[in-house]
Amino acid sequence: MEILVTGGLGYIGSHVATLLIEAGMEVLIIDNLANTRIEVLDGIESITGKRPYFKEMDVCDSEGMAQLVAEHPNLKGVIHFAAHKSVNESIAQPIEYYENNLGGLNQLLKISTQQSIPFIFSSSCTVYGQAEKMPIREDDPLKKAISPYGNTKRIGEEIIQDCCKAFENFNAVLLRYFNPIGAHESAKIGEYPRGVPQNLVPFLTQTVIGKYSKLRVFGSDYPTKDGTCIRDYIHVMDLAQAHIASLNYLLNKQNSENCEVFNVGTGKGVSVLELIYLFEKATGEKVPYVLSNPREGDTIEAYADATKIKEKMGWQAKYSIEEALQSAWKWEVKLKG
């Protein structure tokens, strides 16, 4: 059984690929290395003892994708991560985001729908915009996207839902996950962005390690318990396991509908300042930070109601936020070494 993982050398994709290999599946990874490094492949091999098939390729390459599928007739599942993912960058470069995120998705769906290959989509809680109540449920109304990135996720979901209606043998799971943090316990793979990190935790760890002088906390007078944004931080290994559960859910035909949506989170809201405190408590390291102006595109508060995925797939988050932060710091120290 072969499983295609697009963006499989990225942060979440690499952790999912590792679990797939450990589960005995043949993993095909494609990645254009736009926001990751080829060394991640060595990390996956070091953990699993097996080097997965890898091809440096853009998912928008229609000819390359067609050739790949022709060469691998035993393809039984697609897990799609390959997309640009920065809220701020998407505001500055909307055309690039729509072309890449939706164009790549369409190329994959042409293949998956024709061959009825189960499809798992990497969506995001950004599709909810600023929800009116917490925790957020899957059936809560979707608000107008605050950023082009969030809009590509919402449109992507709609495209997949339309495909599931049009192709009765095509099945998909849309995973709306919240804020992944942490790294593999071995510290052999983790979040490894090119350039300045767009996510909070890698910027935090890089600041503590000395790459930056201070961590900027964007917004300090929001209507929250301490004035900073609140998020649902989930260990990347918990998130990766949710993808394995989703794949098995589709392969074993346990889904009740062609297209189903699931939140993936812990159900706990943690503010930025609380996260900094928890990091200091978990690692013994001091975080130098400064309060800054709010950032365009940021929501004030978002955390999940993850009841549905627990009831239907038996999945729930197992790791604590302290364990996630410890693993992130261990990975940062490893990178410096």
Annotated catalytic residues are 149
Q: Name the residue among 89, 211, 212, 101 with its Cα closest to residue 156.
A: 101
Q: Please state the separation of Cα 237 from the chain's center in Å.
A: 11
The torsion angles phi and psi of 48, rounded to 5 degrees, stand at: -95, -20
What are the phi and psi torsion angles at 6 (to 5°)?
Answer: -85, 140
Nearest to 240 by CA among 94, 1, 2, 22: 22
Largest CA distance in the chain: 55
User: Using CA atoms, how far apart are residues 292 and 296, in angstroms rounded to an integer?
Assistant: 12
Is residue 104 a contact partner of residue 6, using CB atoms and an 8 Å limit? Answer: yes
Tokens of 173: 């799971």
| CB-neighbour burial class of residue 318 (10 A; exposed 0-12, middle 13-18, buried 19+) | exposed
The answer to whether 245 and 315 are in contact (CB under 8 A) is yes
237, with CB counted inside 10 A (0-12, 13-18, 19+), is: buried
